[in-house]
Amino acid sequence: MAKSTITYWNPLVLQNQGKWQPIPGLESIAEQLTLSIDTETGEYTRLTRFLAGADTTPMGDKSHPYPEEILIMSGRLYDAAFDMWLETGHYASRPPGEVHGPFKTDIGCVVLEISFPNRVDEPMS
C-alpha cells in the first residue's frame, strides 16, 4: 500500500486548527498533524507544533532505530543534543539511532517530519 494522499490544503490556517492533536505525554506543549501515512509500513509525514515556551527537558533526549527527515517550517527550536538553535529552513536527515533533543522553544516552532519506521537497521551480531 502507498502513503495516503490528499489534494491541496493548508494545515496552518485558522480554520484547520481543530485538526491538530495533542502529542501523548506532551499534551500542554506540543501538537501533531499527520499529513500522510502508509498504514502497512508505518511511514508517515506529519507536522509537529511546539507551543511557545515548550521544553521537553524533563523527558530527556530521544533516538529511534529508523531514519527520519525534519525541516523547520517556522519559528525556532533548540536541540540540546547538538547545542544548536534550529531556525526556519534548517533541515536534517537523521540516521537510525541518532540522539536528538531534548527540545525547547521560546517563540514556538512547526516542524515537518518524514519518518520511516519500517526501515529499522538489523541488530549487529
Give me the pLDDT at residue 120, please: 81
Evaluated on CA atoms 104, 37, 97, 64, the torsion sign reads: positive
Distance CA(54)–CA(28), nearest Å, equals: 8
* pLDDT for residue 84 is more than 90: yes
* pLDDT for residue 124 is more than 50: no
Whether 5 is covered by a domain: the verdict is no
Give me the pLDDT at residue 6, please: 85
Average pLDDT over residues 4-23: 90
Distance CA(108)–CA(51), nearest Å, equals: 5
Average pLDDT over residues 46-71: 96
Whether 39 is covered by a domain: the verdict is yes
CATH number at residue 58: 2.60.120.10
**117 and 63 in contact (C-beta within 8 Å)?**
no
Tell me whether the omega of the peptide bond preceding residue 22 falls within 30 degrees of 0, making it cis: no
Report residue 5's pLDDT band, with 50, 70 and 90 as the boundaries. confident
pLDDT digit string (tens) for 89-112?
999 999 999 999 999 999 999 999
Whether 34 is covered by a domain: the verdict is yes
Average pLDDT over residues 53-70: 95
Question: What's the mean per-residue pLDDT of the chain?
Answer: 93
Task: List the grid coordinates of 37.
Answer: 501515512
Domain count, the chain: 1
Whether 123 is covered by a domain: the verdict is no
Task: Give the range of the structural domain holding residue 30, as residue numbers without chain letter.
Answer: 21-115
Average pLDDT over residues 66-75: 97
Report residue 118's pLDDT band, with 50, 70 and 90 as the boundaries. confident
Element (H, E) at 115: strand 109-115
